[in-house]
């Protein structure tokens, strides 16, 4: 019997020495401690032992069982600790590693400027309307009081798509579309792309404008100047103001060219304002009675103000950009400067 126990002890030690994981450990338990396990077999042998020897042998078996169980527990603890250590190691975050770069895009300076402009006018209660980029002659010219053969058509070099179908040369046709769809009071902004066959450092064949139109009773040039003062102050700084100069547009009467006092030199004269103290920023005026009448609005009852702002021009002034092509080349070295 003792011999048997000794052999089993050796087997047990050998098995324990080979255990690498919890699964093997559980197999080991079944093999030795299970109902049909080796230790249970040993107990069965106890029946064969003589009565006198039985207590002593029983004691030996029990001691063997206890020591085997202790060995098992010890190994289980070791394996648990190793497992915990492995998990901790795997789940550790090395905070000394440089973070993965998440490249961040940014809005285009034209979009930034456009949004800023919309914000200012939205604060005054303007709604947004967008018209089509492919426009007909009627909306782009005729109903804006620019008849066929009118010399004012030469003011803008037009891209033709078909006879009487063009790429809009300005956002002003948006005025006609709004007044066709809606009766006064009207207070809308029409932002969008416009197209002219023109290209140099300050002109691009495609650029952006923002049209403004207000139609109601008793609208005057003072309303126009008041709104534009707020606009330029928001864009160029608290201390600037506007100046209106007489001009000509077929769709407004009177028409004005709007200058802003130079935000660079405060009006003293500098390179930016060409030593005049003023910078031209937009055109506007009082909506021509013919234009109102063309849209079924009675010019005796209502009057309107309108303005058209070049978004590139505002962006170039605001950011000190001296060549319009920078706005369309999409050179990342340029665009990255507008990241916030
Ligand atoms: N449409 C004109 C242009 O593109 C700008 C303009 C001038 C718009 C006067 C207006 C305005 O609404 O009243 O040159």
Q: What are the tens digits of pLDDT across the range 103-138? A: 888 999 999 999 999 999 999 999 999 999 999 999
Tell the residue nearest (CA) to atom 3 of ligand 1: 170
Would you state the pLDDT for residue 155?
67
In this structure, are 84 and 182 located in the same domain? no
The number of distinct structural domains making up the chain is 2
Distance between CA atoms of residues 41 and 46, nearest Å: 9
In this structure, the answer to whether residues 120 and 187 fall within a common structural domain is yes
Paired tokens of 34? 């299970």
Domain that holds residue 173: 109-338
One domain for residues 130 and 240? yes
**In the prediction, which pLDDT does 115 show?**
97
How far is residue 101's CA from residue 260's CA, in Å, rounded to a whole number?
43
Query: Atom 8 in ligand 1: which residue has the minimum CA distance?
Result: 308
From 61, 90, 119, the end of a domain falls on 90
Instruction: Give tens-digit pLDDT for 16-64.
Output: 888 888 888 888 888 888 888 888 887 887 778 888 888 888 888 888 8
Cα–Cα distances in Å, from 292 out to 132, 135, 211? 21, 19, 16
For residues 132 and 249, state if they share a domain.
Answer: yes
**Angle (CA) 193 197 202, round 5°:** 75
**pLDDT of res. 206:** 96
The DSSP bridge pattern shows strands 242-249 and 160-162 to be: unpaired
| Euclidean distance between CA atoms 21 and 48, whole angstroms | 37
**Cβ of residue 249 lying under 6 Å from some atom of ligand 1:** yes
CATH at 218: 3.30.930.10
Same domain? 20 vs 133: no
Regions of the chain with pLDDT less than 70: 155
Ligand 1, pocket-test mutation among 172, 173, 174, most atoms within 8 A of CB: 172
Same domain, 28 and 169: no
How far apart CA 234 and CA 121 sit, in angstroms, is 10
Backbone angles phi, psi at 147, to 5 degrees: -65, 165
Residues 185 and 230 reside in one and the same domain: yes
Cα 301 to ligand 1 centre (Å)? 23
Domain final residue pick, 59, 90, 121: 90
- The pLDDT value given to residue 156: 72
Specify whether 187 is located in the same domain as 240: yes
Indicate the residue among 63, 90, 117 that finishes a domain: 90
Whole-number Å distance, alpha carbon 328 to ligand 1 midpoint, is 23
Q: Is the beta carbon of 32 within 6 A of some atom in ligand 1? A: no
Shared domain check, 158 and 305:
yes
Q: Give yes or no: residues 80 and 115 share one domain.
A: no
For the chain, give the secondary structure using H, E and C. CHHHHHHHHHHHHHHHHHCCCHHHHHHHHHHHHCCCCHHHHHHHHHHHCCCCCHHHHHHHHHHHHHHHHHHHHHHHHHHHHHHHHHHHHHHCCCCCCCCCCCCCCCCCHHHHHHHHHHHHHHCCCCEECCCCCEEEHHHHCHHHCCCCCCHHHHHCCCCEEECCEEECCCCCHHHHHHHHHCCCCEEEEEEEEEECCCCCCCCCCEEEEEEEEEEECCCCHHHHHHHHHHHHHHHHCCCCCEEEEEEEECCEEEEEEEEEECCCCCCCCCCCCCCCCEEEEEEEEEECHHHHHHCCCCCCCCEEEEEEEEHHHHHHHHHCCCCCCHHHHCCHHHHHHHCC
Question: Does residue 96 lie in a domain region?
Answer: no
Is residue 243 domain-resident?
Answer: yes
242 within ligand 1 shell (Cβ under 6 A): no
Which of 214, 225, 284, 289 best tests ligand 1's pocket when mutated (most atoms within 8 Å of CB)?
284
Q: What is the value of pTM for the model shown?
A: 0.72
Pair 164, 137: CB distance under 8 Å? yes
One domain for residues 198 and 281: yes
Asked if omega into 254 is within 30° of 0 (cis), the reply is yes
314 and 261, same structural domain?
Answer: yes
The number of angstroms, rounded, from the C-alpha of 71 to the middle of its chain's C-alpha atoms is: 63
Closest Cα to residue 9, out of 69, 75, 79?
69
């Amino acid at each position: 019997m003792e011999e048997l126990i000794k052999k089993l002890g050796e087997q047990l030690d050998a098995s324990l020495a080979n255990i690498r994981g919890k699964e093997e450990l559980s197999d080991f338990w079944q093999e030795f401690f299970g109902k049909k396990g080796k230790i249970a077999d040993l107990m069965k042998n106890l029946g064969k032992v003589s009565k006198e020897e039985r207590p002593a042998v029983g004691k030996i078996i029990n001691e063997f069982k206890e020591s085997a169980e202790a060995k098992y527990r010890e190994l289980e603890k070791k394996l648990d600790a190793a497992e915990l250590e492995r998990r901790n190691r795997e789940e550790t975050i090395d905070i000394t590693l440089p973070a993965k770069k998440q490249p961040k895009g940014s809005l285009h300076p034209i979009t930034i400027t456009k949004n800023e402009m919309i914000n200012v006018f939205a604060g005054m209660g303007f709604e947004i309307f967008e018209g089509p980029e492919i426009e007909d002659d009627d909306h782009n010219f005729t109903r804006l009081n620019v008849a066929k053969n009118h010399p004012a058509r030469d003011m803008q070099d037009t891209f033709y798509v078909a006879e009487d179908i063009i790429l809009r040369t300005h956002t002003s046709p948006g005025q006609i579309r709004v007044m066709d769809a809606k009766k006064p009071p009207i207070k809308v902004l029409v932002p969008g792309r416009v197209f002219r066959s023109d290209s140099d450092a300050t002109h691009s064949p495609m650029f952006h404008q923002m049209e403004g139109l207000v139609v109601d009773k008793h609208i005057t040039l003072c309303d126009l100047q008041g709104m534009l003062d707020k606009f330029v102050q928001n864009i160029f700084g608290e201390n600037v103001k506007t100046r209106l100069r007489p001009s000509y547009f077929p769709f407004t009467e009177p028409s004005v060219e709007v200058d802003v006092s130079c935000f660079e030199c405060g009006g003293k004269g500098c390179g930016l304002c060409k030593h005049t103290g003023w910078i031209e920023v937009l055109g506007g005026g009082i909506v021509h009675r013919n234009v109102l009448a063309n849209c079924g609005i009675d010019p005796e009852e209502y009057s309107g103000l309108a303005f058209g702002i070049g978004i590139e021009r505002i962006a170039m002034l605001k950011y000190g950009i001296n060549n319009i092509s920078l706005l369309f080349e999409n050179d990342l070295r340029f665009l990255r400067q507008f990241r916030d």
